[in-house]
Chains A and B, each alone.
With several copies, the nearest count.
Chain A
Amino acid sequence: MNRVINNPDLVVEDMLRGLLAAHAELAAGTDNPRVIKRACAPVAGKVGIVTGGGSGHEPAFLGYVGENLVDAVAVGEIFSSPTAKSFFDAMKAADGGQGVACLYGNYAGDNMNVKMAIKMAERAGLTVKTVVANDDVPSAPKGDEAKRRGVAGEILMWKTAGACAAQGGSLDEVIAVAQKTISRTRSIGIGLTSCTIPAVGKANFHIADGQMEVGIGHHGEPGINVSAIVSADEMARIMVDTLLPDLPFNSGDRVAVLISGLGATPLMEQYILYASVAQYLGNAGLTVAVPLVGNFFTSLEMMGVTLSVLQLDAELEGYMKAPCASIGLTQN
């Protein structure tokens, strides 16, 4: 293990210490050490945006706390859901009196903890509504969308919902925007190497050298198939061919495209992939109105990439292009 860590059991604590030390203007701690909030949260009169999930995906989730984005985030152990209490505390931290939109990913643990957190929130008199991201196409067949996992498309939903909330949207409006965003988003990942949770010390899944796993999940969940690594162009073709028919996307659509490296894949290669993705999307008659390329949602030091495509409309395009400031995404 070639890591920059102290006690492997305390990597999340140590990370949070560093992150809070570095970004005092952006993010602040709370009484719950596993809840990070915007320095100015709760913002009175604004719908609060909450998310949360396991650690190891940095800058997701906590890196999207910021201006016109997420107000508070619940932080779990590596690849493990935050506690119900942490989700609840994040809701409290985000509540500016207009209710809270809890926008998270479709994983068993997160679903259960959010459910319990909402129970606690109801007792405390908070209004909370949720949207569950299920953008990962390979994780369940079409028709069974409710079973699909949430992956990097979550970022797009935080972006649009965060912008809507910042512009004064009501809870129902914010929820509708988040839901519309994720309903129009399709994602797929390709994994090239596995990763190692520091406290475990050995890889908890395996991809043989020279192999790629198409459709792999953010924690090594099995994908559609394993085959010999193909060219970036061929990867792009496979990914685009999987995503476009699923929504379906149509010629003439304007889209947001998010390519995220999974951790160890160089930015150079992410742009190489984007070149082909852009071409295949163009061939299909789509216009990329919002392109995002970088390490937005990672899995420790996995090699690989994910592609997310969001079918825009005028409202979503406006929200996607709105300014924001956070560790994970800043635009002006």
Chain B
Amino acid sequence: MAQTLTLKQSGQIVLDLVDTINANRAYLSEIDGAIGDGDHGINMSKGFTLCGDALRAKPVLPGLAEGLDTLAMTLLEGIGGSMGPLYGSFFMGLAESLAGHETLDAALFGEALANGVAGVETVGSAQVGDKTLMDTLVPAREAYRAALAEGADFSTALDRMIAAAEQGWQSTKGLQARIGRAARLGERSIGVLDAGATSCFLILKTLAGSVQQRLG
């Protein structure tokens, strides 16, 4: 199994993310409806669709770095509220780390992931346990970093990342929201999954899967 992929040829990964979000549009809104205002799927799908359209309109599909940058900018341009800046800074963080590189290896992915999560942290100021997408992102980053430190290969590290992301996502069910719209509900926000943590898990899972597929 190869340990790197060529960034220029991996732009399709961004379109995979777009497809995932569009496929889960209704599901994400349904989850948001329980303790939010039921528009998370609509918001996300609006921004991701814009990006898909923009990428497909280009004569040649851009590589992964440029594709992620386009995704970041269309989210910042296409959706207001909080999803635009949060996911916008996440993908901007990824894109910035990849920029200037030809290939993506395990170390660069870890760097990019950390940079993306840092972007979300800076913009959103949420902590693990607040019942947000940070509950998916932070465990994912930690698990990936630990896997690399323990000598795992790229694909295995991605498996470990997804396992942790899923656990973090599922942990939001038991949490009381301390930030965002659901925080108004206090204890009544306990017992259901967080919408942002859900979309974030779906994004990481698709990202990892698409990368692994390309590693062969």
Provide the bound-state CA to CA distance between A113 and B82, in Å: 7
Tell me if A108 and B123 are in contact (CB < 8 A).
no
Tell me if B82 and A108 are in contact (CB < 8 A).
yes
Q: Which residues of B contact A328 (CB under 8 A)?
A: none
Tell me if B88 and A76 are in contact (CB < 8 A).
no
Q: Which residues of B contact A109 (CB under 8 A)?
A: 80-82, 85
Provide the bound-state CA to CA distance between A1 and B25, in Å: 27
Task: State whether the Cβ of A193 lies closer than 8 Å to any Cβ in chain B.
Answer: no
In the complex, identify which listed stretch (B11-19, B71-79, B103-111) lies at the interface while the others stay far away: B71-79
Q: Which residues of B contact A222 (CB under 8 A)?
A: 184
Q: Which residues of A contact B89 (CB under 8 A)?
A: 116
Q: Report A60-98 CB contacts with B as 1/0, cut-off 8 Å.
A: 000000000000000011001111111000000000000
Tell me if B123 and A83 are in contact (CB < 8 A).
no
Tell me if A81 and B77 are in contact (CB < 8 A).
no
Q: Which residues of A contact B86 (CB under 8 A)?
A: 112
| Partner among A80, A83, A116 whose Cβ is within 8 Å of the Cβ of B78 | A83
Instruction: Kindly identify, within residues 116 to 175 of chain A, every residue whose CB is under 8 Å from any CB belonging to chain B.
Output: 116, 120
| Partner among B88, B122, B124, B179 whose Cβ is within 8 Å of the Cβ of A84 | B88
Known: A76-B80, A112-B123, A116-B123. A84 touches B85 (CB 8 A): yes
Tell me if A112 and B124 are in contact (CB < 8 A).
yes
Number of cross-chain contacts by CB at 8 Å: 58
Provide the bound-state CA to CA distance between A116 and B179, in Å: 19
- Interface-central residue, B85, B124, B179, by most chain A CB under 10 Å: B85
Provide the bound-state CA to CA distance between A39 and B85, in Å: 29
Task: State whether the Cβ of B37 lies closer than 8 Å to any Cβ in chain A.
Answer: yes
| Nearest A residue (CB) for B179 | A108
Tell me if B80 and A113 are in contact (CB < 8 A).
yes
Tell me if B184 and A84 are in contact (CB < 8 A).
no
Tell me if A80 and B81 are in contact (CB < 8 A).
yes
Main secondary structure of the interface of B (DSSP, over half): helix
Provide the bound-state CA to CA distance between A115 and B86, in Å: 11
Q: Report B76-105 CB contacts with A as 1/0, cut-off 8 Å.
A: 111111101110110000000000000000
| Partner among A86, A108, A204 whose Cβ is within 8 Å of the Cβ of B37 | A204
Q: How far is the CB of B200 from chain A (nearest CB, A)?
A: 16
Q: Which residues of B contact A77 (CB under 8 A)?
A: 80-81
Task: State whether the Cβ of A221 lies closer than 8 Å to any Cβ in chain B.
Answer: yes
Provide the bound-state CA to CA distance between A15 and B78, in Å: 19
Tell me if A81 and B123 are in contact (CB < 8 A).
no
Task: State whether the Cβ of B180 lies closer than 8 Å to any Cβ in chain A.
Answer: yes
Q: How far is the CB of A220 from chain B (nearest CB, A)?
A: 10
Provide the bound-state CA to CA distance between A221 and B184, in Å: 8
Q: Which residues of B contact A204 (CB under 8 A)?
A: 37
Tell me if B85 and A80 are in contact (CB < 8 A).
no
Provide the bound-state CA to CA distance between A115 and B81, in Å: 13
Tell me if A116 and B81 are in contact (CB < 8 A).
no
| Partner among B37, B76, B180, B184 whose Cβ is within 8 Å of the Cβ of A116 | B76
Q: Which residues of A contact B82 (CB under 8 A)?
A: 81, 108-109, 112
| Partner among B73, B80, B123, B124 whose Cβ is within 8 Å of the Cβ of A82 | B80
Tell me if B79 and A83 are in contact (CB < 8 A).
yes
Provide the bound-state CA to CA distance between A84 and B37, in Å: 21
17 A-B pairs, CB-CB below 8 angstroms? A76-B81, A81-B80, A81-B81, A84-B88, A85-B73, A86-B77, A86-B80, A108-B124, A108-B179, A108-B180, A112-B84, A113-B80, A113-B85, A115-B123, A116-B84, A116-B89, A222-B184
9 nearest A-B residue pairs (beta carbon):
A112-B85, A85-B77, A84-B76, A116-B85, A83-B80, A81-B80, A109-B81, A76-B80, A109-B82
13 additional A-B pairs beyond A81-B81, A109-B81, A113-B80, beta carbons within 8 Å, are A76-B80, A80-B80, A83-B76, A85-B73, A85-B76, A85-B77, A108-B124, A108-B179, A109-B82, A109-B85, A112-B84, A112-B124, A113-B76
